[in-house]
Amino acid sequence: MTLTVSFLPSLVRGCRPGKIVQMTEAEVRGLCIKSREIFLSQPILLELEAPLKICGDIHGQYTDLLRLFEYGGFPPEANYLFLGDYVDRGKQSLETICLLLAYKIKYPENFFLLRGNHECASINRIYGFYDEWLSPDLQSMEQIRRIMRPTDVPDTGLLCDLLWSDPDKDVQGWGENDRGVSFTFGADVVSKFLNRHDLDLICRAHQVVEDGYEFFAKRQLVTLFSAPNYCGEFDNAGGMMSVDESLMCSFQILKPSEKKAKYQYGGVNSGRPVTPPRTTQAPKKR
């Protein structure tokens, strides 16, 4: 635990845009080993109590992650649930994941991290870090509880769909996904899922939404995206959802910067497509 206490201040202080936070290999390895122990000791299907702050994709936008904490309160002032996609595409993926893992180690019962589709070695190799929730296979929550960890993400099946499936207002039932993996699902699928499992709302991430959050299926599903000005290509806001003790949901918004330089990519990340947006908004012309 000494590692985390000494490591956190330097991560939080290193908040100037683009500033590299100095970390040794031993420190990074220590974070990975200790956090892995904690993840494996906790259930794969989290059942958390409010109040809670919920955040969507971060994608290596480290300074924006710090802005989220400034808005919502740095741990342990607030409890947090992150929905995945912490790395790739942004310029400071390493600082981002290290800060999140450090908080997980320091506050294991107040700070929770789900796995997104970018928490996968094969994706990291393509999108830069290496140099959600519905499936037609899901019939009961027990199927999620039985998923063995650690595990690679297969090309098809329940685990793949939990990380890759997307809502589509033009689809009824299940449809093909333009990503080339998993499925899209319609509002009818959301309603049936909530009724079957006695739930009120699905909260997911995985897609850019213009206002930082976007409802679907008559407010039965909400998509969160917490990285504003995503990749310097979109004028989207970043959103964080707060759930209070009475389960009332509210949203805090990180507004997009009017002038924010595009990220400069190189190597394996150069020329790769960004996460498809939920809106038809085109990338900002410059």
SS3 assignment, position 224 = strand
Q: Where are the beta strands (DSSP E) in the chain?
A: 52-55, 80-82, 111-113, 166-167, 174-176, 183-185, 202-204, 213-216, 221-224, 238-243, 249-254
Catalytic residues: 118
Distance CA 182, CA 167 (A): 11
> What's at 175, amino acid-wise?
G
> What's at 268, amino acid-wise?
V
Query: Do residues 220 and 185 touch, judged by C-beta distance below 8 A?
Result: no
Q: Which of 135, 131, 123, 196 is CA-nearest to residue 162?
A: 135
Give the Cβ contact number of residue 25 at 10 Å: 7
> Is the previous residue joined to 51 through a cis bond, with omega within 30 degrees of 0?
yes
